Amino acid sequence: QSALTQPPSASGSPGQSVTISCTGTSSDVGGYNYVSWYQQHPGKAPKLMIYEVTKRPSGVPDRFSGSKSGNTASLTVSGLQAEDEADYYCSSYGGSDNLVFGGGTKLTVL
Amino acid sequence: QVQLVESGGGLVKPGGSLRLSCAASGFTFSDYYMTWIRQAPGKGLEWISYITTSGTTAYYADSVKGRFTFSRDNAKNSLYLQMDSLRAEDTAMYYCARGGRTTVTYWGQGTLVTVSS
């Protein structure tokens, strides 16, 4: 059982926006601004897309944005493109010298 | 550019041991916490351990505590994961990554560990 809860799937048409949620507790997501999001294409290593809730690493398109409200963090992908189809994972500082992950969300571009 | 290259994976019998290595380049290795994360086939990501910059302290997930040992050699820009008392549920792709308990910024391509008789 994953520490953070994500929907197993999400989908959208090209050009649309889609939001993926990541729900934890006040001990992890809600307690710290250390939520990250990773993109993983099949057979590839994950890639950091968002860190510290809202920050984008250099090279990540600004179509990707992050937010948090209470114990739930969200990743929004705007202007969906075919190459955005991938698995997305959230992570958070777990509060006990640990990092916790969500179970992952498969994003399908219709 | 940051590069992380894992090695040492393979097939091992239950109860056996394996030592993974990770060679780092493209950044000042001794400045960063480092992490191991694994992914069972078809499953999600699981954090298993991170180590401080000096290597004096490592933290472990409960699932591997007491069986796995994470170490680093800053002179060689290398990480090591000694895995003992391996179980079938340890079968996974093992990734080394730069970062610690708040986020991981770069990932290696992974090395596959299969525990089976």
Residue A54, chain B, CB below 8 Å: the answer is no
pLDDT > 70? residue B28? yes
Contacts of A34 in chain B (CB under 8 A): 101-103
Q: What is the DSSP letter of B103?
A: -
Are A101 and B46 a contacting pair at CB < 8 A? Answer: yes
E strand or H helix at B22: strand B18-25
Contacts of B103 in chain A (CB under 8 A): 34, 36, 48, 51-52, 91, 99
Identify whether the C-beta of residue A4 lies closer than 8 Å to the C-beta of residue A91. Answer: yes
pLDDT in tens, B54-91: 999 999 999 999 999 999 999 999 999 999 999 999 99
| Chain B residue nearest residue A49, CA to CA | B105
Average pLDDT over chain B reads 97
Of A39, B85, A31, B2, the residue nearest A50 (C-alpha): A39
CA distance B63 to chain A (A): 12
3-state helix, strand, coil split of chain A in percent (to 5) is 5, 50, 45
Identify whether the C-beta of residue A27 lies closer than 8 Å to the C-beta of residue A97. Answer: no
Of A87, A96, A105, A79, the residue nearest A22 (C-alpha): A105
The SS3 of residue A98 is: coil
Q: Which of B47, B106, B108 sits opposite A99 (nearest CB)?
A: B47
Q: How far is CA B31 from CA B61, B70, B108, in A?
A: 23, 17, 18
Residue holding tokens 């994003």? A107
For residue A81, count other CB atoms closer than 10 A to its CB: 12
Per residue of chain A (110 residues), what is the pLDDT tens digit? 458 999 999 999 999 999 999 999 999 999 999 999 999 999 999 999 999 999 999 999 999 999 999 999 999 999 999 999 999 999 999 988 999 999 999 999 99
Contacts of A32 in chain B (CB under 8 A): 102
Q: Which of B103, B108, B109 sits opposite A36 (nearest CB)?
A: B103
